[in-house]
Amino acid sequence: MNKRIEEEDRMNLTDELAWATMREREELIRSNYSHTVRTSSQERADEPAINGDQVVFVRDLRKTYAGGIEALKGISFEVGEGEIFGMLGPNGAGKTTTIGILTTTVRPSGGRVLVAGHDVVRDPLAVRRTIGVTFQESVLDNDFSGLDNLRLHARLWRVPRAEADERIAALLDAMDLTDRARDGVRTYSGGMRRRLSSTSRRSAWTPRYARTFGRR
């Protein structure tokens, strides 16, 4: 009898501890949520007015990777309409991370980033629809000719053939590649590959802002 009473007492105590723990967790969650709301409201209140001519707006951008590696520690900068902007720095300075955040392939740990007025965290698809990117590494198919590479990109984006051919012809002429359009990409020089690569995305659509990203 006494043994059963002791077991019941232990069960009651266990239940009380469980409920107490749940209440503590609920209070902690509510406290963290309130703090987050206050912080977000304060950050919005402290944000400077964004100029309509700003293509890129970066404020207090931070990124911490797994293991506590801080790639970005609160950088801020702005890029205006028509401005040519470059980032210089040694290896590990955070250039690639910054570009990844601007192109929505890397999620920031803090701060705010707007590209063409769109928040990279809240509306990444709108950002991607607005920009064009030429990466440091080639994305061309070496087994195709320059013309076929451009046609491939246009087909992937479902651009009508007649419209694609007209756009491709104009781009090849602008990049001075018309005479080599039917030659294999393997025979192109480095500069020709770069010009063709920067043209490939435009064969499918015309971004509002086009960027060439590479390390320097």
Query: What DSSP assignment string belongs to the chain?
Result: -HHHHHHHHHHHHHHHHHHHHHHHHHHHHHHHHHHHHHHHHHHHHHPPPPPTTEEEEEEEEEEEETTTEEEEEEEEEEEETT--------TTSSHHHHHHHHTTSS--SEEEEEETTEETTT-HHHHHHHEEEE-SS----TTSBHHHHHHHHHHHTT--HHHHHHHHHHHHHHTT-GGGTTSBGGGS-HHHHHHHHHHHGGGT---SEEEE----
Q: Per residue in 169-188, pLDDT tens?
A: 998 998 999 999 999 999 99
Check residue 70 and give its pLDDT: 94
Is the Cβ–Cβ distance between 146 and 187 less than 8 Å? no
Burial of 144-170, coded b for 16+ CB within 10 Å and e otherwise, reads: ebbbebbbbbbeeeebeeeebbebbee
Angle between helices 161-174 and 146-156 (to 10 degrees): 140
With a cut of 90, say whether residue 106 has pLDDT above it. Answer: yes
With CA atoms as reference, report the closest residue to 100 among 63, 147, 126, 73: 63
How many CB atoms neighbour CB 203 within 10 A? 26
Pair 117, 157 in one domain: no
Pair 113, 154 in one domain: no
Pair 159, 127 in one domain: no
Q: Cα dihedral angle (121, 126, 127, 129), rounded to 10 degrees?
A: 150
The number of domains in the chain is 3
Work out the percent of the chain whose per-residue pLDDT is above 70. Answer: 68
* Residue-range definition of the domain harbouring residue 21: 1-28
Pair 162, 109 in one domain: no
Q: Per residue in 89-104, pLDDT tens?
A: 999 899 999 999 999 9
Give a yes or no: residue 66 inside a domain. Answer: yes
Q: pTM higher than 0.75, yes or no?
A: no
Non-local (6+) Cβ contacts of 84 within 8 A are none
Pair 173, 195 in one domain: yes
Pair 63, 1 in one domain: no
Q: Per residue in 4-43, pLDDT tens?
A: 545 554 444 455 555 555 556 556 555 554 544 454 445 5
Give a yes or no: residue 76 inside a domain. Answer: yes
